[in-house]
Every structure is written in structure tokens, then in C-alpha cells.
Amino acid sequence: MTNDLIAAARLVLGEFALGEDLSAGSVAAALRTEAGHIYTGISLKLDCGIGFCAEHSAIAEMLKHRETRIAAIVALSEQGIRPPCGRCRELMLQVSPANAATLVAIADGQSLALRELLPHHWRAPGRGA
């Protein structure tokens, strides 16, 4: 994982209160598209399951610019790099089946291709990953 993505995520990292027991920014993400653009996002910790992960936020930002191919992605909290949850992994793949090759940071100095994190995808062959 390149340091520029980690640095970009650190720029937006920092939890802040939205209300009682509600917050944003405890996790930040940065991704680089195949075109070389970097997009960032932050997590939302909200009630009723309406919050979302930082990766979702960064991917939404990317989609606003009509890009779908993610070359690399990292998410981090104050404790360090956080591997993406299953929902985030699935989102990356559904945005573009080509994202199976996305380099995903899973720990300091460790990255895997998304296809390695979703080895037995639920979609039938020829319909996705």
C-alpha cells in the first residue's frame, strides 16, 4: 500500500460528535482509482443501522466522478489500518467486477487482492467476480 493513500486518509480521520452517542470520522478511507485519482471518506456511527463505513463514503465520492475501477484502498482508525468488512468488500466488487484485482490494505505493510478476501463469491461464474 502506498503511503499517499494512508496520508490522504489521515487528513480526514478524526471522530467528532453528531449528537448523543452519534459520531462521524472514527474511521477514514482513501482509494486510488485506475485513472490515478484519490477519493476519501469517513464513517458515520448512527442509530438504527443507517450509518456506514468510510469505504462506502469514499466509493460514493468516486462514483460521483463516474469512476468505478479501484486500484487500491485503505481504511484506518486511530489504532491503525482496518481491513474492510464484508459489506465493503461486496460493495467494491458489485461496483465493478474488475475490482476483484483491487489491492486492499489489511494491516500495516500487508495488502491482498480483493479476490483473495472473497474467494468463494456468491454470484455464479460469468455474472461477477
Active site residues: 55
Structural contact between residues 112 and 118, judged by C-beta atoms closer than 8 angstroms: no
Evaluate whether 26 touches 43 at the Cβ level (below 8 Å): yes
| CA distance to 11, 50, 86, 98, 121, per residue, from 126 (Å) | 39, 32, 21, 12, 12
Phi, psi torsion values for 96, nearest 5 degrees: -160, 125
In three-state secondary structure terms, 98 is: helix
